[in-house]
Structure 1
Amino acid sequence: MTTTPAVPRGLAGVVVTDTALGDVRGREGFYHYRQYSAIELAQTRGFEDVWYLMVHGELPDRAAAAADFAARTAALRTLPAEVREALPAIARAGAVSGPLAGLRTALSLLGASAGFRPVYDIGAEQRREDALAACAAVPTILTALHRLGQGLSPVEPREDLPHAANYLYMLTGSEPEPEHARAVEQYLISTVDHGFNASTFTARVVASTGADLAACLVAAVGALSGPLHGGAPSRALDTLDAIGTPDRIDGWIREQVLSGRRIMGFGHPVYRTEDPRSRMLKSLAQGFGGPLVDFAVEVERQVEAILAELKPGRELHTNVEFYAGVVMELCGLPRAMFTPTFSAARVIGWSANILEQAEDSKIIRPAARYVGAPPPQPVPAP
C-alpha cells in the first residue's frame, strides 16, 4: 500500500520546483529578481530594464541594448485588429466585473489571432516572442476596457513614451506628470514577481501541460481575480474611507480587532516582518505628502499599537496593498484599475515563470488524500 505524504494546507512552505527567477525571504523582509534586490531595482532602474532582466537573465549591459529592448516592446503595444474590434463587446459584457475579467477574454482572443502555439511545440525563441507580445498588449487591453466601460474611446499607445508613462497616458488621455509616471513605474517594478504565489503557480501548472502562452496567462489572471489574492489595494483605501477621520481611528480599529475581522492592507502570508514593498511605497507616498498620506500613516501607527496592546506577540504590518492604494490614488488612477494595474506588472513575472517551466517537460500532477466514505461499496439498485 502506497502512503501519501502529509503536506500543510495550501502547500504552505512546500518546495515544488527549482527556479532562477527570484525568491521571497519572508523572515528577513527581502525579495529579489534574479540576483538583484527587487526594491533596489525599483529605486534605480526603469521598468523596461527589469523586464529585460526577467526575460534574458541579466540587465542590459549598455544603453543601446536597453534602448533597443524598449523600442522593440513599445512597437508591440498596438493590438491586432481582431482584438481591438472585439473590445467594445467585451467591455459591455464585463460592465459589472470590470477590466480584469475582460482581460481573460481578450487574452484568449489575442493568443488565437496571433497564432500562439503550445509552448511544448515551439522553441525557446518563439516562446519569448509570444511572451513579449502578450506582455506589451496587456496594458493596452486593460486601459481600453476601462475607458470603454466609462463611455470613452480607447487611447492608442505611443511608442515614444516609456512603459509606465504610456500606461497612464492610455488610461487618462493625457501625458502624465513625470513624478506620477515614476511613482507608478516604481510600483510596477516592485510587483513584477513575488515567489510562487497562487497566480504564478497556476501559470506554471498550465505551462507544464504544454499549453500556449495565452492559455497560461488566462489561468493566472483567473487566479488573481479571487479576493484572497488580488483586489486588496482598493479595499485598503475603503478601510481609510470607513474610518473617515482621525478621531475615529482608535475605536474603529479596536472594534475590528476584538470582533476578529480582518483589517485590509495589513498582514501577509509570507512576511513575518515589514513588507519591503510597503516600506518603499510609504516613502513614495510621503514624498507626495498631503492629508491622505498623513491619515494613512496615522492609521498604520495606531493599528500596530492597538495590536501590540490587544494581541501581544502578534505582529501585523502593512503589506504592499496599503500604500500602493495611496500612491495610485495620488497619481490619479481610479480604484477600479488598482488590481488591473497590478496585473499589468505581474504579467511579466507570470511570463518569465511560464518560459522557465516550459524548459521542463514534466507535467505538474500532485496527488490528493481521499477522505470520503470507504470504497468500494455496492451500488444501490435503482
Structure 2
Amino acid sequence: MSEEETMHTTAEAISAPAVPRGLAGVIVTDTGIGDVRGREGFYHYRQYNAVELAANRSFEDVWHLMVHGRLPDAAEQADFLARTAALRALPAEMRSVLPAISRATSPSGPLAGLRTALSMFGALAGLSPVYDLDDEGRRNDALAACAVVPTLLTALYRLGQGLAPVEPRTDLPYAANYLYMLTGTEPDPGRARAIEQYLISTIDHGFNASTFTGRVIASTGADVVACLTGAIGALSGPLHGGAPSRALDALDAIGTPDRIRPWVRERVIAGDRIMGFGHPVYRTQDPRSQMLRTIAEGFGGPLVDFAVQMEAEVEQLLAELKPGRELHTNVEFYAGVVMELCGLPRSMFTPTFCAARVIGWSANILEQAADSKIIRPAARYAGPPPPQPVPVL
C-alpha cells in the first residue's frame, strides 16, 4: 500500500462516526407504520395508540390498518375478514410433507418447523421477488403468506403431539380460528378475545431485531416469504421472542411467595437476567404488560395472584439492588400468564407471538419494498493491521 493510500485509509477510519453497540438508537429509515416512545411508556400503530386498538378493535381490523394504512369501514371489514379467512388452507402438496418437517424439527419445536414449511409454501405459491411486483402484487403475496402461518404452526404442533392437524375454519376470526386449530375445540369467547388482544398488542413494536432483519432482506428485492423466514429466524432467539415461557418457568422455580425475594436476590447478585423484567426501550411501565395484567386479573386465580405478588416484590428488590434504574415487567411476563390461563402449551408461546408479529413484519416489508435502495451498512475493521505477509509452508 502506498503512503497516499495509507493516509487515505487512516483518514477514513478517523472520520467514520462512532456507532453504539447493537445500533442502539441509530435511525436507519423513516417509517409510517408505528413507533415506540420508551420514556413515555407509549407505542402506536400508524396514528393510533396500540393498546387502545387492542381494547376496541378486532385483529383483522388492525391487520387491515397495517397493510392498507387505514382502519376499515364496515364493508371493508367484512370483505377483509372473508378474504383472509379464505387464504388459510394449505396447498395439497404441503399436507403430505408436514409430518416429515415436524419429525425433523421436533427437538426445536414448531417455530423451527415454520421456517422450513413457510419456505416450501412460498416455493409452491410461486411468489415473485418484491422488486418485480407492483404494490397490489406485494400485498397479495403478504396476505397469502401471513394467512397460512397460524395453519402451519398449529399443524406442526399437533403433529409433534401425535395428533392430526385441524383444518382451518372460514367462519371464525383469526384468534378464535388459531385456538380452534390448536385444540380441535371451538374456544370460549372470553379466552379467544384475550388471545386476540394479546395478538394485537404484539403485531409491531418498532425496529426490533426481527423487523429490521425482514426489512434488510426486503431491501434486496427478495420475495415476501424469504423476508418473513429471515424475520422468524431472528425472533427465535431467546433474547427476542423466546421469553414468555421462561418468565413462567421462573414462577415455577420460585414455587411459593415466601421464596420470591431470596430467589431473585441470588440471581441479581450473580448477574443473571430475571426473565420478564426490564426492556431495552421502555424506561417506565411497558404498556403491553399493563394491558395484559388487566386481562389476567379478569380471569383471576392463584397463578395471577402469584404473578402480581412477584411483580411487586421483584420491582422493590430491583429498586434496592439497582438504584436509579427503572426495571418493570415487560410484555413477556403477563403474556405468559394470559396464554397459560387460555390453555396454550408453553411450547406454543413464542409461535403465538410469531402468529401476530408476522403482520407487522409484512407491513414493514411492503414499506421497504416501495424503496428499492439496498441496505448496505459498513463495519469498522478491528483486526490485525493488513496486509501481513502470507506464511509459506
TM-score, structure 2 length as denominator?
A: 0.96
Amino acid at match of 1:199: S
Give the aligned partner of residue 339 of structure 1.
350
1:244-273 CA deviation, whole Å, 9 max, x = no partner? 011111211111222221110000000000
Q: Aligned partners of 2:321 and 2:43: how far apart in 1?
A: 30
Amino acid at match of 1:33: Y
Q: Aligned partners of 2:307 and 2:178: how far apart in 1?
A: 26
Give the aligned partner of residue 325 of structure 2.
314
Q: Secondary structure at the match of 1:23?
A: strand
Q: Aligned partners of 2:115 and 2:46: how far apart in 1?
A: 28
Higher alpha-carbon Rg: 2
Question: Of residues 10, 19, 24 in structure 2, which corresponds to 1:7?
Answer: 19
Give the aligned partner of residue 85 of structure 1.
96
Give the aligned partner of residue 308 of structure 2.
297
Q: Aligned partners of 2:174 and 2:391: how far apart in 1?
A: 63
1:287 matches 2:308? no
Give the aligned partner of residue 223 of structure 1.
234
- 1:4-83 alignment runs, 5 A limit: 4-60=16-72, 62-83=73-94
Q: Aligned partners of 1:311 and 1:367: how far apart in 2?
A: 36
1:283-315 CA deviation, whole Å, 9 max, x = no partner? 000000000000000000000111122222122
Q: CA deviation at 1:82?
A: 1.8
Q: Aligned partners of 2:322 and 2:216: how far apart in 1?
A: 38
Aligned length: 381
Identity rate, percent: 78
Q: Aligned partners of 1:357 and 1:11: how far apart in 2?
A: 19
Larger deviation, residues 302-311 vs 50-59: 302-311
Amino acid at match of 1:79: L
Q: Aligned partners of 1:32 and 1:84: how far apart in 2?
A: 38
1:129-172 CA deviation, whole Å, 9 max, x = no partner? 00000000000000000000000000000000011000000000
1:241 matches 2:252? yes
Q: Secondary structure at the match of 1:342?
A: helix
Larger deviation, residues 122-131 vs 255-264: 255-264
Give the aligned partner of residue 377 of structure 1.
388
Q: Secondary structure at the match of 2:96?
A: helix
Amino acid at match of 2:120: L
Give the aligned partner of residue 206 of structure 1.
217
Question: Of residues 149, 156, 162 in structure 2, which corresponds to 1:138?
Answer: 149
Q: CA deviation at 1:84?
A: 2.1
Q: Aligned partners of 2:359 and 2:249: how far apart in 1?
A: 28
1:294-343 CA deviation, whole Å, 9 max, x = no partner? 00000000001111222221221000000000000000000000000000
1:129 matches 2:152? no
1:171 matches 2:197? no
Give the aligned partner of residue 232 of structure 1.
243
Amino acid at match of 1:87: L
Superposition RMSD in Å: 0.7
Larger deviation, residues 306-315 vs 34-43: 306-315
Q: Aligned partners of 1:105 and 1:239: how far apart in 2?
A: 31
For structure 1, the 5+ residue unaligned runs are none
Amino acid at match of 1:369: R
Q: Aligned partners of 1:19 and 1:225: how far apart in 2?
A: 25
Q: Aligned partners of 1:45 and 1:298: how far apart in 2?
A: 31
TM-score, structure 1 length as denominator?
A: 0.99
Q: CA deviation at 1:14?
A: 0.2
Q: CA deviation at 1:81?
A: 1.2
Q: CA deviation at 1:236?
A: 0.2
Amino acid at match of 1:257: V
Q: Aligned partners of 2:172 and 2:244: how far apart in 1?
A: 26
Give the aligned partner of residue 149 of structure 1.
160
Give the aligned partner of residue 182 of structure 1.
193
Amino acid at match of 1:15: I
Q: Aligned partners of 2:321 and 2:58: how far apart in 1?
A: 43
Amino acid at match of 1:335: R
Amino acid at match of 1:293: V
Q: Aligned partners of 2:63 and 2:274: how far apart in 1?
A: 33
Q: Aligned partners of 1:237 and 1:169: how far apart in 2?
A: 24
Larger deviation, residues 159-168 vs 256-265: 256-265
Give the aligned partner of residue 106 of structure 1.
117
For structure 2, the 5+ residue unaligned runs are 1-7
1:172-218 CA deviation, whole Å, 9 max, x = no partner? 00000000000000000000000000000000000000001110011
Q: CA deviation at 1:66?
A: 0.2
